[in-house]
Amino acid sequence: MTSQPLQAPRAPDAPRSFPADHEEVTLLVDARIDAADGVVSLVLRHPNGGPLPAWAPGAHIDVLLDNGLIRQYSLCGNPADRAAWQIGVLLEPESRGGSSYVHDRIREGSAVRVRGPRNTFPLRPAQHHRFVAGGVGITPILAMVEAAEAAGADWRLLYGGRTRASMAFLDRLAPYGDRVLIRPQDEYGLLDLAAFIGPPRADTLVHACGPEPLLRATQKQCADWPAGTLGIERFAPVRPTGAEAAPSASFEVVLTRSGRTLTVPPDRSVLDVVEEAGVPVLFSCREGTCGTCETDVLEGTPDHRDSVLDEDERATGETMLICVSRSCGPRLVLDL
């Protein structure tokens, strides 16, 4: 992410992606559930009833809509159920055509093209967990709390939303009693993160997903905690600031596997140029949030502008998100 000093390193047993599962597949909508005001949940199954790729809490899939848009939705079902995937989709008031298409056009029995799963937000094991969810940000967190419960960890969830009626999956959280704090804003006001997260502890990890103001407040609350405490997932890219908002220069990319050398002009991305040259490359969001276009860097120093990599990953410079990130120098060598 463009500014995530507290995002935790990836656990060794929690890979970012599962490249073998990136083939596009068409699934059927087995159930379409009104999960809350403005939120529909889709249960997807393979048409032949076969198993779907395995996933872990925090994973998302790409949904390739028939209007040409690609959207990422977190999996929120049970990872042990290999026969079905479940997602939750909030109807965005200012939808750019993704969530409104899902709400208006996708019904039970609809065919839906998907890719994945991919995990840029893994649940890292810990003795104590604090989960923070805002609105539809509950979707990845839901699978995390169920996994933490199954692992016998000590955990608490703070879940905020506009109103109780707008908050999805309250029924699945009900069995956990006072481990879950349901805090609709019209009843409780803003979330009390200070009281929930408390003072720094070395044995506790925090995972958060929700709107940008909530994530920024959570980052601030964890500022004095040990590095790597906080893992977050954003819905949208962080707006560039400072050096990242500076004008871009052109640079050269050398693609070792395809034997091409291309120039990336200031107003185009590496992905644009590589795609135009006919070099096969995976991508989805094109805005630095999904992780699909992550590419190995063999030489040169990337100018990271994404919302996915943590500080350690940025510092090593071993990979970059080519849809948004650029080069600090005149030349990059990529494994493409």
- Residue 288 CB, nearest approach to ligand FES (Å): 5
Among 323, 332, 334, 336, binds ligand FES (CB under 6 A): 323
What's the first-to-final CA gap in the chain, in angstroms?
23
Encoded tokens for 166: 């707008």
What whole-number distance in Å separates Cα of residue 288 and Cα of residue 4? 13
Among 138, 321, 332, 334, binds ligand FES (CB under 6 A): 321
- Residue 285 CB, nearest approach to ligand FES (Å): 4
- Residue 324 CB, nearest approach to ligand FES (Å): 7
CB closer to ligand FES out of 220 and 239: 239
Say whether residue 4 binds ligand FES (CB under 6 A).
no
CB closer to ligand FES out of 168 and 293: 293
Say whether residue 45 binds ligand FES (CB under 6 A).
no
Name the amino acid, one letter, at 2: T
Among 38, 135, 283, 310, binds ligand FES (CB under 6 A): 283
Report CA-CA distances (Å) from 310 to 38, 129, 305.
32, 20, 11
Do residues 43 and 84 touch, judged by C-beta distance below 8 A? yes
CB closer to ligand FES out of 130 and 314: 314
Which listed range, 28-36, 166-174, 240-248, 281-289, lies at the site for ligand FES (CB under 6 A)?
Answer: 281-289
- The neighbouring-strand residues paired with 254 are 261, 333
DSSP string, 233-268: E-SSPPPP-GGGGSPP--EEEEETTTTEEEEE-TTS
Which listed range, 82-90, 132-140, 219-227, 277-285, lies at the site for ligand FES (CB under 6 A)?
Answer: 277-285
Say whether residue 63 binds ligand FES (CB under 6 A).
no
Say whether residue 273 binds ligand FES (CB under 6 A).
no
Within 287-316, the residues that bind ligand FES by CB under 6 A are 288-293, 306, 308
What whole-number distance in Å separates Cα of residue 179 and Cα of residue 173? 9
DSSP string, 157-199: EEEEESSGGG-TTHHHHGGGGGGEEEEEHHHH-S--HHHHH-S
Report CA-CA distances (Å) from 275 to 53, 158, 174, 255.
27, 42, 48, 12
The size of the interface with ligand FES (CB under 6 A), counted in residues, is 14
Give the interface with ligand FES as residue ranges (CB under 6 A).
283-286, 288-293, 306, 308, 321, 323
